[in-house]
Structure 1
Amino acid sequence: MIKACLFDLDGVIVDTAKYHFIAWKQLAREMGFDFTEQDNERLKGVSRMASLDILLEIGGVTKTEQEKEELAHRKNEHYVSFITQMKPDEILPGAREFLLACKDAGLATALGSASKNAMTILNRLELNDLFDAIIDGTHTSKAKPDPEVFLKGAEALAADPENCVVFEDAEAGVEAALAAGMYCVGIGSSEVLNKAHLIIEGLHQMTLDQLENLQ
C-alpha cells in the first residue's frame, strides 16, 4: 500500500534547466567566448565541476584548480540570482494539483533533490507547505544513483521504502529509487526511463488511482 510520495525537483516540479544554461552562458561571455544551446546538451546530467571543464574546453581556456573553484562559485551565484526571481506560475503543469491531491488523500510527501538551492526554489514557487519533509543537497553526501536521498526522505516521513513511490525524470534517479526498494514513476522518455514502473509525460497525467495500480 502506497503511503508516501517522494518527488525530485528539477524536471518534475519545475524546470530550472534554462537558468543553468543562461548562467553558464553568462560565465562563458565573461571569459570572452559564446556558449550555445547545442553546447549545453553536453552538460545534461553532469556535475558542476565536470560541466565547467567542458565549458573551458569549448572556449579553449585553461585554468588552475583554484581558478576553477572560483568560476564554479561565480556560476552558482549567477544561477541563484536568476532563481530568486522565479514566480509560482513556473511550476510544471499538474504538479501543484497532484501534490494537493496527495495531501487530501492522506499521503505523506517529501522532496528528494540533489539541489542545494531547493529551498530557495520552493519558497519562490510557494510550495513549501505541500511537503512534509525536504531532503536536499544540504542533507546528503552521496549523489544518485545512490539511494541515500530517498531513504532519508522515507525515514523523515516514517514510511517503509516498500510503501513509497518516487517521481523522477532522470535515469540515475530511477535507479536510486529502485535501489531504495521503492516504486518509481518516470517522467519523460520511455527509452531513457524504461526501468520505472510507470512512465508519464508529466504530473498532469498522474492520478491517485494509478498509484494503486503500481502494486
Structure 2
Amino acid sequence: MTVSSVENSVDSASPLSRLAPLEAILFDIDGTLCDSDPFHYQAYREMLPEIGFNGGVPITQEFYAEFISGKHNEDVATFLFPDDHQRGIKFTDDKEAMFRRLAKDKMQAVNGLYKLKKWIEDRGLRRAAVTNAPRKNAELVISTLGLSDFFEFVILGSECEHAKPYPDPYLKALELLKVSKDHTFIFEDSVSGIKAGVAAGMPVVGLLTGNPEHFLMEAKPAFLIKNFEDPKLWAALEELDRKSGVTRSAA
C-alpha cells in the first residue's frame, strides 16, 4: 500500500473512529441492503408515459436520481401531481405494487452485506432499518434477503411526523434502540437519506449502488463506498475495533 493509500484509509476512518465504542448501526433499505432501484426506475419508466408525464417520453436515470430516488411517496405524489394530490397517491400506490411484482424473487444483497452482518452480530451491536418505503416493500426486501431476525426495528418515514430528508425517522430509531447518536452511524444510498442522517447528527456512509457520486457528495456523507466489501469501510471498522479495544478480526 502506498503512503497516499494509507493516508486515504486513515482519513476515511476518521469520521467513524470518534464513535468508539460503537453501539449501533442503522440501515436504509432500498439501494442499501440490495440494489432495488433498477426495479423502481423500471416501474416509473413504464408508468409515467402512460399518464402523459414529460410528454410521454420516459424519464432518464439522471431525472430519477435527482427528483425521485429516496424520497417519500407523499413528496413524489406532490411533485408528479401538484394539482391533484389524491391522484398522485393512487399513482404511487400502483407503482409500488408494480415494483413488488418486478422485484419479487429477483433481489440480491449488496456485495459484502452478510460479511458485515456477521461483524455486527459478533460485536453485539444494535441495529434497525430506517426507510421511506411502504411497509409491504420493506418487509419484502428484508424477508427476501433473510434479514427478518437481524433487524430489531423497522422504522417507516410514514410513521414519523416527517419522513426523510428530515431527521425524524433516524431520531426515532435512536429512541427505540436506546442508543446515543454519538456512538451510532448510518448506511444510506440516496441524497434524501444522507441528508436525514446528517440532520440527525450522525455520520453517514454513502453507497454508490445507483445514485451519482456528485449528487451524494452534496449531501455531505462521511465517505462513500462502492459496496460492503469496500476496503475504505473495513479500514474504518478496524479502526473502530482498535479504539474500542476489540481484538477479533473483521474478516
**Amino acid of the residue matched to residue 124 of structure 2?**
G
Q: In the alignment, which residue of structure 2 is the partner of 1:150? A: 170
RMSD: 2.9
Task: Pick from 167, 181, 187 the counterpart of residue 207 of structure 2.
Answer: 187
Residue of structure 1 in register with 2:222 after alignment = 197
Match 2:238 to one of 185, 203, 209: 209
Report the alpha carbon displacement of residue 74 of structure 1 after superposing the two structures with TM: 2.1
CA distance in 1, matches of 2:201, 2:85: 39
Q: Is the 8 A contact 1:112 1:149 kept in 2?
A: yes
Q: Counterpart in 2 of 1:86? A: 105
The aligned residue for residue 77 of structure 2 is 49
**Whole-Å Cα distance in 2 between the matches of residues 21 and 140 of structure 1?**
26
Aligned counterpart, 1:57: none
> Per-residue CA shift, 1:30-83, capped at 9, x if unaligned?
558865462x431324243156449xxxxxxxx965544433332222122223
Aligned counterparts of 1:135 and 1:92: Cα–Cα separation in 2: 21
Amino acid at match of 1:86: D
Query: What is the CA–CA distance in structure 2 between the aligned matches of 1:65 and 1:12, rounded to whole Å?
Result: 29
Matched-pair contact (CA < 8 Å) for 1:114–1:140: no
State the 1:20 CA deviation.
Answer: 1.2
- Go from structure 1 to structure 2 and tell me whether the alpha carbon gap of 1:71 and 1:203 turns closer, same or farther (over 3 Å shift): same
Q: Which residue of 2 aligns with 1:160?
A: 180
The reply on whether 1:99 has 2:117 as its aligned counterpart is yes
Q: TM-score, normalised by structure 1?
A: 0.79
Q: Secondary structure of 1:128's match?
A: coil
Once the two structures are superposed, residues 150-209 of structure 1 have per-residue CA deviations (whole angstroms, 9 ceiling, x without a partner) of 111111211011111111222332222222222222223266326222322221123231
Is the CA contact (8 Å cut-off) linking 1:190 and 1:199 kept in structure 2?
A: no
Aligned to 2:71: none
* SS of aligned partner of 1:192: helix
AA in 2 matched with 1:48: V
What is the Cα deviation at residue 11 of structure 1? 2.0
SS across alignment from 2:127: strand
Q: CA deviation at 1:137?
A: 3.4
Matched residue SS, 1:129: coil
Aligned mate of 1:110, from 107, 110, 128: 128
Number of the residue aligned with 1:60: none
Segments of structure 2 that go 5 or more residues without pairing to the other structure are 1-20, 69-74, 245-251
Q: Distance in 2 between matches of 1:65 and 1:196?
A: 32
Q: CA offsets, 1:2-40, max 9 Å, x none?
A: 1100011122111111111221233246558865462x4
Distance 1:66 1:143, change over 3 A: closer
**Number of residue-to-residue matches in the alignment:** 204
Taking a change above 3 Å as real, the CA distance of residues 82 and 210 of structure 1, as seen in their structure-2 partners, is farther
Whose RCO is larger (CA < 8 A, sep 6+)? 2
Structure 1: segments with no counterpart, 5+ residues: 55-62
Is the Cα contact below 8 Å between 2:45 and 2:59 reproduced in 1? no
1:77 has 2:97 as partner: yes
The corresponding residue for 1:59 is none
Q: Percent identity?
A: 25
